[in-house]
């Protein structure tokens, strides 16, 4: 992440906090092989304002966004393994060849206790 990326994400977090919105922060915590983003890259999923930052785009980022919606609903953090190794059944040329782990956590206020998804 660049300094400007960090600043944009920080401002988005502040705005969400000031508005009383709960959001989800996704952070790449481990990578192996070739990945579009490296350890420390972050993405904020704000249900009202959308996405700020990226963890790589494409189908892998979609997996993380799905996880973010679960975390937002129940408050329980998740670790998502995004496998970007070649998939012979995929038509997408955007296969990097690596694997990354993304920690997905709730940030901000929530009115309900956390619960495990069913």
Looking at residues 72-89, what average pLDDT do you find?
Answer: 86
Task: Give the structural domain span for 39.
Answer: 3-107
Specify burial of residue 97 (Cβ count, 10 A radius: 0-12, 13-18, 19+). exposed
Examine residue 89 and state whether it is found in any structural domain, yes or no.
yes
> Facing residues of 32 across strands?
99
pLDDT at 85: 84
**Domains in the chain, number:** 1
Does residue 37 contact residue 54 with C-beta atoms inside 8 Å?
yes
Examine residue 116 and state whether it is found in any structural domain, yes or no.
no
Residue 84 confidence class, pLDDT cut points 50, 70, 90: confident
Q: What is the value of pTM for the model shown?
A: 0.84
Q: Supply 57's token pair.
A: 């785009």
Looking at residues 69-75, what average pLDDT do you find?
Answer: 95
Examine residue 114 and state whether it is found in any structural domain, yes or no.
no
Residue 114 confidence class, pLDDT cut points 50, 70, 90: low
């Amino acid at each position: 992440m660049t300094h400007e990326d960090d600043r944009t994400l920080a401002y988005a977090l502040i705005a969400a906090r000031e508005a009383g919105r709960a959001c989800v922060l996704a952070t790449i915590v481990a990578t192996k092989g070739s990945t579009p983003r490296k350890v420390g890259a972050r993405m904020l999923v704000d249900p009202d304002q959308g996405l700020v930052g990226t963890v790589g785009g494409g189908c892998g980022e979609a997996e993380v966004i799905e996880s973010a919606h679960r975390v937002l609903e129940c408050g329980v953090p998740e670790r998502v393994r995004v496998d970007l190794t070649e998939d012979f059944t995929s038509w997408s040329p955007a296969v990097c060849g690596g694997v990354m782990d993304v920690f997905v956590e709730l940030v901000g206020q929530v009115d309900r206790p956390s619960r495990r998804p069913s």
